[in-house]
């Protein structure tokens, strides 16, 4: 099976990139299953119902993961409650709207479990992602298990990869919006990358305009953040599986002319 995971889609530029390149990449690599991180899809913060429905029902995305901006858009609690294919971090406190994992069947009959976790280092309070992963794996069985670890610290993402090596098919990092060079299959057969990178504008500071971002460092009161528009790049990873294990992982990058 070939699985594509697309890194954080940032604002309207990121959505255009996804609409342009996802169908092309699916055809070129005969992709069977698609996961997209969409927590920055609406103006750089959060995701709306119209965006989620368009991706799931029109663009053919199978699962949308999120992170610390999961609930930034108005009315999103109802959306998470109603749409099981839209995930928020599983290790958010009990009682949070929605779910942090979902199990789906592919046309070939395989079961895929997708798990969404958020790190705790330099992030807002959340429950332990390592023990949450254990808890979900104890309750759920699937042919393939994918984990989106949405973390600030590279060390925490890497630790999660080693912790779950051999128990899941892939541990894929999101949130930092900067692609890392460590795509690899770990010794136990788990595909790993610290960060996929964002799908959005790279002439920016992690997707936001340089000017507004610099003001946050240079002034007592920073300017309003806006999504940048230059150097649009699509970033994803492609995993090929053999049974429950990953056989290969490779980066897929496209640039908008």
Q: What is the pLDDT of residues 212-227, one digit of tens each?
A: 999 999 998 888 889 9
CB 117 within 8 A of CB 129: yes
Question: Range of 112's domain?
Answer: 2-255
Cα distance between residue 65 and residue 117, in whole Å: 9
Cα distance between residue 233 and residue 178, in whole Å: 11
Q: Tokens at residue 183, please?
A: 């795509």
**Is 69 an annotated catalytic residue?**
yes
pLDDT score recorded for residue 243: 92
We report the CATH number of the domain holding residue 115 as: 3.60.21.10
Q: What is the pLDDT of residues 88-99, one digit of tens each?
A: 999 999 999 999
Q: Burial letters for 88-119: b for 16+ Cβ neighbours within 10 Å, e otherwise? A: bbbbbeeebebbbbbbeeeeeebebbbbbbbb
- What is the number of domains present in the chain? 1
pLDDT score recorded for residue 237: 98
Query: What SS3 class is residue 35?
Result: strand
Residue ranges of the chain whose pLDDT lies below 70: none
Distance between the two ends of the chain, CA-based, in angstroms? 31
Query: What SS3 class is residue 238?
Result: strand
pLDDT score recorded for residue 247: 98
Query: Catalytic pick from 69, 101, 175, 177?
Result: 69
Q: Which residue has the tokens 């808890």?
A: 135
pLDDT score recorded for residue 257: 83
pLDDT score recorded for residue 115: 98
Task: Write 227-230 long-range contacts (CB < 8 A, 24+).
Answer: 227/10, 227/11, 227/12, 227/13, 227/43, 227/44, 227/200, 227/201, 228/13, 228/200, 228/201, 228/203, 228/204, 229/13, 229/201, 229/203, 230/201, 230/202, 230/203, 230/204
pLDDT score recorded for residue 220: 84
pLDDT score recorded for residue 107: 82
């Amino acid at each position: 099976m070939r699985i594509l995971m697309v890194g954080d889609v940032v604002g309207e530029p990121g959505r255009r990139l996804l609409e342009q390149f996802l169908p092309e990449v699916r055809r070129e690599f005969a992709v069977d299953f698609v996961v997209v991180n969409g927590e920055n899809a609406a103006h750089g913060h959060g995701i709306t119902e119209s965006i989620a429905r368009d991706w799931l029902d029109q663009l053919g995305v199978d699962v949308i993961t999120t992170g610390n901006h999961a609930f930034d858009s108005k009315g999103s609690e109802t959306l998470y409650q109603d749409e099981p294919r839209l995930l928020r971090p599983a290790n958010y406190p009990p009682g949070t709207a929605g779910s942090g994992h979902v199990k789906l069947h592919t046309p070939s009959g395989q079961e895929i479990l997708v798990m969404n976790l958020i790190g705790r280092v330099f992030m807002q309070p959340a429950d332990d992602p390592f023990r949450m992963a254990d808890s979900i794996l104890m309750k759920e069985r699937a042919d393939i298990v994918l984990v989106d670890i949405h973390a600030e610290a590279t060390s925490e993402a890497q630790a999660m990869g080693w912790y779950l090596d051999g128990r899941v098919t892939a541990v894929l990092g999101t949130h930092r919006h900067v692609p890392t060079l460590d795509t690899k299959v770990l010794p136990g057969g788990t595909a790993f990358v610290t960060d996929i990178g964002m799908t959005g504008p790279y002439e920016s500071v992690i997707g936001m305009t340089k000017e507004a971002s610099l003001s946050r460092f240079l002034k007592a009161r920073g300017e309003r953040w806006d999504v940048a528009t230059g150097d649009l790049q699509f970033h994803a990873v492609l995993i090929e599986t053999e049974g429950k294990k990953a056989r290969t992982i490779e980066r897929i990058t496209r640039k908008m002319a």
